[in-house]
Structure 1
C-alpha cells in the first residue's frame, strides 16, 4: 500500500474533450466525442502534473501545400514549436520524460478554415490533469479576411522577387498577425473570426454568397450548423477589418457596400451592446493600382462615413481606424509580412490604449 512517504507512481489517463479543466478559446463545438473547430487562433490550454503528454487529434486537411494544418505548441512557456498534423495520424507526442511536477501546455491552430477543420479527441497524460490557468482580461475579437488570418505572413519578399506565390499553409501564422500581437501587447484574450477572400457584401470572386457577415454566426464557416452561441464569449473590443476583397473584382457599388457594412455593425452591436467596435481599414489597397480607381481613398471614405452615421445616431462606441499602407517586404500574394503585422499591432495597441 502506498504511504505519504511512498507517493503513487503516475499512470496514463485519457482526458476527454469535455473535461472542464481544458481551457478553450475561440469558436469550438464540444461534444462527448470531440471538440470541433477550424478558425485560426483557436487555443487549448491545460495544466497537468506528471512527466508526459500526448495529443489525440483527428484532422481533416487533405495534406498538400495548401491543406496541411499547423499548430503552435508551447510547453512550460518555452520557445514555441510548430506542429504539422495529418489526417493519417491521430496521436502526437507533445512531451516525454519531462521533469516530474507541474507543466502547462498551449496549442494554437495557426492556419485558417480553408485549410481544414480539426477534431480534438482529448489528451493522454502520464500523471493527472490540474485546474486550468486563469483567463486573461480584457477580451478582444478580430473579424476579417486573409489579412486578419495572417495569410503568407511568415515569408518576406521584395517586390523584385514577385510576391505572387500562391497560398502555402506553412507560411500562415495567426500568432504573428496583428490581432494576436495586439492581444499580447494588452495582456488580453482574443478570438479570431476570419476567412481569406471574403468581403463585406461580395467576395474576391465577385460572389455575394457566403460573405463574412453571412457566415459570421457559424462555428465552422463552411458548414451551416452548428451555430455559435454568442453568450459564450462577450468581447470588450471588436476589431472589424473587412472591405479589401470587395474591391478585388473592381470598384464595388458604394450604396450596397455601405449598407452591408452598416447592417453588419448593427448586428455586432445587437450581440455585444457594450463593446467598442473598431472599424479598421488597410493596409493592402492602393490608389495607384488598379490605375484610376482610387480604391484606398474610397474605402477610407465609405467606412469612416459608416462610423460617422453610428456616432451621429448616438453610438459613440463605434470608432474608425486606418492602418498605414504596407511597404515591402511583403508576404505571399502581396499580403502583409510579419514586419507589417507588427507595425499594425503597434498602431492598434496605441489606438486602443488612447480610447477614453
Structure 2
C-alpha cells in the first residue's frame, strides 16, 4: 500500500514538473515575429487572411506547440506549412476551429527556429494565431534585411501546385495550395530575404475571372485582398523589390486600355514604395498566343511609364504541369531559379 502511494506521488510530481516546463506564450510576445498583412483584432490574437503570411520564433527545448484558430469559412479548412530549423517543411491541414498543433517534438535539447506559414489564400478564410507552448522562447538575434513583395494571381498563391495529399481532380479546390513552396517565398529564401505575397486567385489587372467583382488595383491596399475593407498600412513593410505577375486572368485585352491601367497601377505602387525596384513578369502558365500579347503589353508599359526603376522579366518557358495548368512544386523551383538570378543581377545581391 505504501509503495502504491509513493508511486502515485512520484507520477504526480512528474506531471507537475512537466506542466511547469511548458509555458504559454501569447501571440503578442515581443520575441514572436510576423511578416505579411496581419491585424490584431484583440490583445491576444493576430489575424491574417493572405497566403504566405508567416510567423517566426526561436525556442529552447525538445518540443513546441502552436495554438491557432481557423475561421472555417464555408466549412473549409486552411493549410499550414511548418518548418523547424533546416528540416523539410511539413504541410498540414487544420482540422477544427480551435487547434493546439504539435509543431515540433523529439528534437535535440537546445535552441531551434520555427516558421509557420499560411499555405491557403484569403478566400478560404482567416487564421487567428494565439501563441506558442514551449519550454522557453528566445529572442531572434538575426533577421534578413532584404524585403521582397510578390503581387499576382493564383500562380503567386501556389494554387494547384502540391499533389502530395490530393491528386488533381480530387478533394477541394484549395487542397493543392502550397504558398510556402511557391516561387515567391522560394526566391526570397534564395536571396536571404523576407517576403510578402499580395495575391488572389483569379484576379486580374482590369478583368478577373470566375465572376469576381474585384481587380488588383481595387484591393491592393486591403489586409484581406479578397473581400475585406480593412486598410493595410504600407509603412509596416517597405520592400526593396516588387514583382507583378498579372494578365493571365485578363486574357486578350485592348492593348491601349491594358497598358494605361498598368501604368496607373505602377504609379500607385510608386506612391507606396518610393524606392523599390518594380519588375513586371510574364505569366509562366500562359499559352503561346496569350504570352505573346502579354509580353508586348508589358514592354509597352515599361517604355511609357516614365520610371527608370521599372523593368521586366520574361520566363524562359511555359510552366503548367500542375492542376488546372498551374505550375507544379518542381516548376515553382525553376521559376524561382530564373527570378532569383534576375534579381541578383538587377540589385547586385
TM-score exceeds 0.5 = yes
Q: Distance in 2 between matches of 1:103 and 1:206?
A: 45
Contact 2:70 2:77 in 1 (8 A): no
SS of match in other structure, 2:82: strand
Instruction: Give the 3 Å change call, closer, same or farther, for CA 133–113 of structure 1 in structure 2.
Output: farther
Deviations 1:180-205 (A, max 9, x none): 22112211111111110000011013
Give the superposition deviation at 1:244: 0.6
Q: Distance in 2 between matches of 1:28 and 1:90?
A: 19
SS of match in other structure, 2:346: coil
Match of 1:111 in 2: 120
Using the size of structure 2 for normalisation, the TM-score is 0.86
Deviations 1:238-267 (A, max 9, x none): 0000011011xxx22333322221111111
SS of match in other structure, 1:90: strand
Which residue among 230, 233, 238 is the counterpart of 1:234?
238
Which residue among 202, 207, 217 is the counterpart of 1:202?
207
Q: Distance in 1 between matches of 2:133 and 2:171?
A: 37
SS of match in other structure, 1:35: strand
Match of 1:193 in 2: 198
2:299 is aligned with 1:304: yes
- Between 1:96-105 and 1:138-147, the stretch displaced more is 96-105
Unaligned segments of structure 2, at least 5 residues: 1-16
Give the superposition deviation at 1:103: 2.4
Match of 1:15 in 2: 25
Give the superposition deviation at 1:321: 1.1
Contact 2:61 2:111 in 1 (8 A): yes
Which residue among 56, 73, 91 is the counterpart of 2:82?
73
Contact 1:73 1:105 in 2 (8 A): yes
2:223 is aligned with 1:222: no
Instruction: Give the 3 Å change call, closer, same or farther, for CA 275–351 of structure 1 in structure 2.
Output: same
SS of match in other structure, 2:300: helix
Contact 1:47 1:133 in 2 (8 A): no
Q: Distance in 1 between matches of 2:329 and 2:136?
A: 38
Give the superposition deviation at 1:206: 5.8
Deviations 1:36-58 (A, max 9, x none): 01211111111122343221111
Q: How does 1:127-276 map to 2 (within 5 A)?
A: 127-155=135-163, 168-205=173-210, 209-247=213-251, 251-276=252-277
Match of 1:284 in 2: 285
Alignment length (residue pairs): 327
Match of 1:343 in 2: 334
Instruction: Give the 3 Å change call, closer, same or farther, for CA 229–95 of structure 1 in structure 2.
Output: same
SS of match in other structure, 1:228: coil
Instruction: Give the 3 Å change call, closer, same or farther, for CA 166–105 of structure 1 in structure 2.
Output: closer
- Between 1:90-99 and 1:17-26, the stretch displaced more is 90-99
Q: Distance in 2 between matches of 1:234 and 1:265?
A: 15
Q: Distance in 1 between matches of 2:158 and 2:89?
A: 17
Deviations 1:11-42 (A, max 9, x none): 33221111121011111113413110121111
Which residue among 14, 28, 35 is the counterpart of 2:38?
28
Instruction: Give the 3 Å change call, closer, same or farther, for CA 50–221 of structure 1 in structure 2.
Output: same
Contact 1:166 1:332 in 2 (8 A): no
Instruction: Give the 3 Å change call, closer, same or farther, for CA 206–76 of structure 1 in structure 2.
Output: closer
SS of match in other structure, 1:171: coil
Which residue among 50, 63, 71 is the counterpart of 1:52?
63
Unaligned segments of structure 1, at least 5 residues: 1-7, 288-293
Q: Distance in 2 between matches of 1:167 and 1:308?
A: 42
CA RMSD of aligned residues (A): 2.4
Match of 1:323 in 2: 315
Match of 1:333 in 2: 324
Q: Distance in 2 between matches of 1:327 and 1:142?
A: 18
Q: Distance in 1 between matches of 2:162 and 2:131?
A: 29
SS of match in other structure, 2:291: helix
Q: Which has the higher contact order (CA 8 A, sep 6+)?
A: 1
Deviations 1:85-107 (A, max 9, x none): 12344221223454433222111
Give the superposition deviation at 1:133: 4.4
Using the size of structure 1 for normalisation, the TM-score is 0.85
